[in-house]
Structure 1
Amino acid sequence: MPEPLTMADDDIITYPSRMSPIASEHTGFTTTASPVLYFYVSDPCPEEIEFTLNEEELPDPVLVTQIKGPQISGIFRIALADYNISLKPDVEYEWFVVIVLDPEERSADFLASAALKYVIPSADLVKKLADTPEDKLYSVYAAGGYWYDAFENLSRQIDAGPSDSALRTSRAELLRQVKLPSASDYDTKMAMIK
């Protein structure tokens, strides 16, 4: 259920009770310089969401932009290629999704963050990926530690075959493995209604 927030002028707005970056608990790896990032919101978000990407040891963000708040609960994507962002290999980045509740008091922000690193895959992993059917790539990515790519592969398959409940179930299991129960429950529920 969305959480109410009473503003100074007595207008009441709501914001999601949960917002989570879709990421592993530790720094997640990607094989691409411009990965697609995902986040989950439990409820509609009428406000814009601020997306920030920081590179370790740099004082200024690589990117700060506003994205339209989702009008429904679910899992949503942010494609770094849309912002002409290319990650440097073997450099850690932290990304944030933020609902700014009061621009004058940023300590009240509702935020979530995760870490990622672009790691060029080994020749062995490249061969395994080349030898694996598209619908099974996510398991090779996950086994190799490339969590962002595993999730992206499953998500693209869901986009292409939204009525395939097995894909949603696989993605829900992937989410459970990294302790994202709310997002996992969302996918489990979606698998049952497709």
Structure 2
Amino acid sequence: MQSINTQVTNTQEVVELTQRWVREVVVGLGLCPFAAKPFAENTIRYCVAPSAAPEDILHSIYSECVLLSSVSHEATETTLVITPNALSDFHDYNQFFNEVDLLLSRNDWEGVLQVASFHPQYQFAGTSVSDAENYTNRAPYPIFHLLREDRLEKAIEFYPDVDEIPERNIARMNALSQDEIHRLFYYLNKT
């Protein structure tokens, strides 16, 4: 597998590694209680945006937003826009989110779609780089997760104690041994 520091040209490898991360980390550790169903039903769309150019990444995100707005959730519940060749610096990735938010606003997708963030160097404000809780959002590549707000609200409606998910996830990550972290997040140590 390629690391995010080298040019990735094999989009199938990018998709496979991302699917493995969803299966083993997101669903496997139960970090997102709403991910298991779309993963099992194969309604997660994996869109690889191979370009490093910001305008190309925005175009990919725009195209996926259009798609999500035009197909049923049974066909595509959610989309992961994966940028293996861009935004490898977490600060740059966070800054780029302003452009993504503007894209949603300009196209009247606020309240319809929202974007969750995942990155190999993810770090929550007020944490140290090595804090285990950061692993809840560490993915093999920079990812923009496009979610349908109505579907998210429906899922939350039937999930007890949704406000406890972050604390539960922090506890789960802190309970992992170093061997488990290295096994699950092996892609973070590649050069």
Normalising by structure 2, report the TM-score: 0.26
More helix per residue: 1 or 2? 2
Normalising by structure 1, report the TM-score: 0.26
More strand per residue: 1 or 2? 1
Radius of gyration: which is bigger? Answer: 1
**Higher relative contact order (Cα pairs below 8 Å, separated by 6+ residues):** 2
